[in-house]
A and B are shown apart, each in its own frame.
Chain A
Amino acid sequence: MSEEKVKQELEDKFSYLKDTVTITRKGRIFVQVPLDKFNEVFVYVVKQMRFLALSAITGLDRGDGFEVIYHLNREGRVLLNLSVRLNKENPEVNSVTGYCPSADIYERELVDLFGIKVKGIAPGHRYPLTDDWPEGEYPLRKDWKGHKEAQNA
Chain B
Amino acid sequence: MHDVHDFEDVKIPIGPQHPALKEPESFLISLRGEKITASSVRLGYNHRGIEKACEERTYTQGLYLIERICGICSHSHSTCFVQAVEEIAGIEITARAKYLRTLIGELERIHSHLLWLGVAGHEIGFDTLLMYTWRDREVVMDLLATLTGNRVNYGINTVGGVRRDISHKQKEEVLKAIDILEERTKYYIDLAKGETTLIKRLQGVGVLSHEDAEKLDAVGPTARASGIERDVRKDDPYAAYGELDFKVISVNSCDVYGRTLVRLGELMESFSLVRQVIRKIPDGSILVKSARKVPAGEAVSRYEAPRGEDLHYVRANGTEKPDRVKVRAPTLANIQSVSKMLEDRYLADMPIVIAAIDPCFSCTDRLVAVRDTKNKGSNTVVWETIRLQGIEWYKNKGIDFTSLNEKLTKLS
Contact = CB atoms under 8 A, between A and B. Distances in A.
Do A and B pair up? The answer is: yes
Interface of A: 24-25, 27-28, 30, 52-56, 58-61, 69, 71, 75-77, 79, 81, 100-102, 104-106, 124-130, 139-140, 144, 147, 149-150, 152-153
Interface of B: 40-44, 47, 49, 51-52, 87, 214-217, 230-232, 235-236, 298-300, 302, 309, 311, 313, 315, 323-324, 326, 328, 332-333, 335-336, 365-368, 371, 373-374, 376
Nearest to B232: A76
Contacts, number: 101
8 contacts: A28-B300, A59-B326, A60-B323, A71-B313, A76-B235, A79-B236, A105-B332, A139-B52
Given A79-B300, A129-B47, A102 B216 contact: yes
Contact of A127 (B43, B49, B373): B43
Contact of B309 (A55, A61, A106, A153): A55
Nearest to B41: A125
A153 B376 contact: yes
Given A125-B42, A129-B47, A56 B311 contact: yes
A144 B376 CA distance: 23
Given A59-B326, A71-B313, 6 more contacts: A55-B328, A58-B324, A69-B313, A75-B230, A101-B215, A127-B43
Contacts of B47: 128-129
Question: What 8 A-B pairs are tightest by C-beta distance, nearest first?
Answer: A128-B44, A56-B328, A76-B235, A102-B217, A76-B230, A149-B373, A58-B326, A125-B42
A56 B366 CA distance: 15
Given A60-B315, A104-B336, A153-B371, A30 B298 contact: yes
Contacts of A139: 49, 52, 367-368
B230 A60 contact: no
Given A100-B217, A128-B44, A139-B52, A105 B336 contact: yes
Contacts of B326: 56, 58-59
Q: Which of A58, A129, A149 has most chain B Cβ within 10 Å? A: A58
A55 B217 CA distance: 7
A114 B365 CA distance: 16
A94 B197 CA distance: 49
A105 B328 CA distance: 11
A101 B302 CA distance: 21
A147 B373 contact: yes
Contacts of B42: 125, 127
Q: Which of B215, B217, B366, B373 has most chain A Cβ within 10 Å? A: B217
A116 B15 CA distance: 29
Given A81-B300, A153-B376, A129 B44 contact: yes
B373 A58 contact: no
Nearest to A69: B313
